[in-house]
A and B are shown apart, each in its own frame.
Chain A
Amino acid sequence: GQQLNQSPQSMFIQEGEDVSMNCTSSSIFNTWLWYKQEPGEGPVLLIALYKAGELTSNGRLTAQFGITRKDSFLNISASIPSDVGIYFCAGLNSGGSNYKLTFGKGTLLTVNP
């Protein structure tokens, strides 16, 4: 099925560094979601964005809904070892009844203490 273009595929950073990742799509969405998945666990919702241009924070995480509705960005400030995991973006069009999420392939984040 359709997938979003998520980059970078992986990042290896030092503790304390800031992290940026993004997702782009050829289609527009009316909702963007960011999830984190750790080994052996399910995706955990980090941030939900519902309006073009919206900027939302959750602790050290900040995400933005692009004004074209075709992209979204996630930033993590002052990374710590427990930030390690795979970060997924997901786009959603919630107008119908099939709330199928379209996922990016994920960004694998490794934090070196």
Chain B
Amino acid sequence: NAGVTQTPKFQVLKTGQSMTLQCAQDMNHEYMSWYRQDPGMGLRLIHYSVGAGITDQGEVPNGYNVSRSTTEDFPLRLLSAAPSQTSVYFCASSYLVGPRRGTQYFGPGTRLLVL
């Protein structure tokens, strides 16, 4: 059981470039989410999904797109990277129902630097 995996671990982009951060989980979790972690700001929710084909915005969604075509995968797209998107990005997943619903497991993170 690999849990939540993320690729790449590190990425450097130039302003205006686009890229996709990959996230996959093998726990059959319905709920998946993306957070960014910045010094002094803590972890903030970007987007989340409650199942394949269903996504919604979190508290800081601007500049990011997501899609959920399968239960396992939840990629995060930066359409036109900006220096303000320099951050560490974490993907998390959990069951949507049952006694442990909402108990989220995090991936190892992607460290992104936008120049």
Contacts and interface: CB of A to CB of B under 8 A. Distances in A.
A interacts with B: yes
Interface of A: 1, 3, 31, 33, 35, 40-45, 48, 50, 88, 92, 94, 97-101, 103, 105-106
B105 A94 contact: no
Contacts of A3: 42
B78 interface: no
Nearest to B97: A94
Chain B interface residue number, banded: 20 to 34
A98 B56 contact: yes
Interface of A is mostly: loop
A103 B43 contact: yes
Contacts of A97: 50, 56, 96
Contacts, number: 61
B108 interface: yes
Interface of B is mostly: strand
A41 B50 CA distance: 25
Contacts of B101: 94, 99
A35 B108 CA distance: 13
A81 to B, nearest CB: 22
Given A98-B56, A99-B48, A100-B45, A43 B106 contact: yes
B99 interface: yes
Contact of A42 (B42, B90, B100, B102): B90
A94 B103 CA distance: 9
B109 A105 contact: no
Contact of B102 (A31, A43, A103): A31
Contacts of A31: 102-103
